[in-house]
């Protein structure tokens, strides 16, 4: 789901040139689109959306140095980086791996909130909540423990698909999401006793020790590079015997990479180490396909861990 954000330049002519350039970009006439964007930038030198889109076009044309220059300019003008220019700089090898800009993640999901479920389920074959549900139930059956959780925290809750999957197993659902648009959609489901707009880690930090029986994150940790902070906070808020369950995207190498879809992929080796360092007991780590991308299944993992 690429972000298609537009921040006006404040100059009507520059904005019009940008609109024409975007049409040309979508039609595949990249040189003409780049020319129009350069004209827009002449009219409005601090036009973030134009600089960012120019970077995209240079990237599409294989013009790495020009793409880097444009993305750098977009990030300079907008330090919060709502367009995610810094992520493209990482992909281009011009910046070190870093956490995703919160403003970018918020803008991405606010944009998709009204049609999120339709896009995920019908276009992307989204399976993460079902995978987590099945893995949690299997882990509880294997441990001969009841698959009922009094208080559950849903990290990156989105529109409430994970809550819908666990509705018969949970008494009190707490949803946390960075996007106000997503929280609005989740509230409409009536599945959550509590909802809050917050970063996942910040949201967990407001919760008391040993206050949750289950923490779930369906396709949410793909927007985190370093999993250590969220795993540590999840362990703190879980009761003894409480469960953490989540999905990730993965790859064959080691460590963490930023994929083509601008989501982080974590190796199985990295996940095992991170779970152990957080003081959690790994119950399940299995290959899975949480969603599709370009009509192909995305390689992922489903993980269940327990606080002992």
- What are the residue ranges spanned by the domains of the chain? 12-96, 114-306
For 93, counting Cβ atoms within 10 Å of its Cβ (0-12 exposed, 13-18 middle, 19+ buried), the class is exposed
* CATH fold of 114-306: Rossmann fold (3.40.50)
pLDDT tens string 12-51: 999 999 999 999 999 999 999 999 999 999 999 999 999 9
Domain 12-96, CATH homologous superfamily name and number: Tetratricopeptide repeat domain (1.25.40.10)
Got the DSSP string for 223-290?
Answer: G-S--HHHHHHHHHHEEEEEEEEEEEE--SSSSEEE-TTS-EEE-HHHHHHHHHHTTPEEEEEEEE--
Unique residue bearing structure tokens 């989540």: 246
Q: What is the mean pLDDT of residues 275-296?
A: 94
User: How far, in Å, CA of 107 to CA of 260, rounded?
Assistant: 19
- pTM of the entire predicted model: 0.92
pLDDT digits (tens, 9 = 90+) for 122-156: 667 789 999 999 999 999 999 999 999 999 999 99
Q: Determine whether 2 is exposed, middle or buried from the number of CB atoms within 10 Å of its CB (0-12, 13-18, 19+).
A: exposed
What residues contact 295, with CB distance under 8 A and at least 6 apart?
none
Residues ≥6 apart with Cβ < 8 Å to 226 = 99, 256
The 10s digit of each residue's pLDDT in 153-176 is 999 999 999 999 999 999 999 999
Q: How far apart are CA 176 and CA 234, in angstroms?
A: 13
3-state secondary structure of 35: helix
């Amino acid at each position: 789901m690429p972000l298609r954000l537009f921040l006006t330049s404040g100059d009507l002519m520059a904005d019009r040139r940008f609109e024409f350039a975007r049409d040309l970009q979508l039609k595949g006439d990249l040189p003409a689109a780049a020319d129009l964007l350069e004209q827009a930038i002449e009219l409005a030198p601090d036009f973030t959306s134009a600089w960012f889109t120019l970077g995209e076009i240079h990237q599409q044309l294989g013009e790495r140095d020009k793409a880097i220059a444009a993305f750098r300019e977009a990030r300079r003008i907008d330090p919060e980086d709502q367009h995610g220019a810094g992520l493209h700089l990482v992909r281009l090898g011009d910046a070190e791996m870093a956490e995703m800009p919160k403003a970018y993640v918020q803008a991405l999901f606010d944009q998709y909130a009204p049609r999120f479920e339709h896009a995920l389920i019908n276009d992307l074959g989204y399976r993460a909540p079902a995978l987590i549900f099945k893995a949690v139930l299997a882990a509880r059956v294997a441990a001969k423990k009841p698959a009922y959780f009094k208080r559950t925290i849903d990290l990156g809750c989105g529109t409430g698909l994970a809550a819908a999957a666990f509705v018969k197993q949970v008494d009190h659902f707490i949803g946390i999401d960075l996007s106000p648009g997503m929280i609005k959609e989740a509230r409409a489901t009536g599945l959550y006793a509590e909802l809050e707009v917050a970063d996942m880690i910040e949201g967990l930090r407001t919760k008391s020790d040993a206050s949750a029986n289950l923490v779930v994150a369906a396709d949410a940790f793909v927007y985190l590079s370093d999993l250590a902070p969220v795993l540590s906070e999840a362990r703190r808020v879980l009761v003894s015997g409480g469960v953490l369950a989540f999905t990730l995207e993965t790859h064959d190498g080691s460590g963490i990479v930023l994929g083509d879809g601008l989501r982080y992929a974590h190796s199985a080796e990295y996940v095992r180490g991170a779970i152990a360092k957080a003081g959690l007991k790994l119950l399940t780590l299995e290959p899975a396909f949480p969603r599709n991308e370009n009509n192909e299944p995305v390689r992922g993992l489903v993980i269940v861990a327990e606080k002992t």
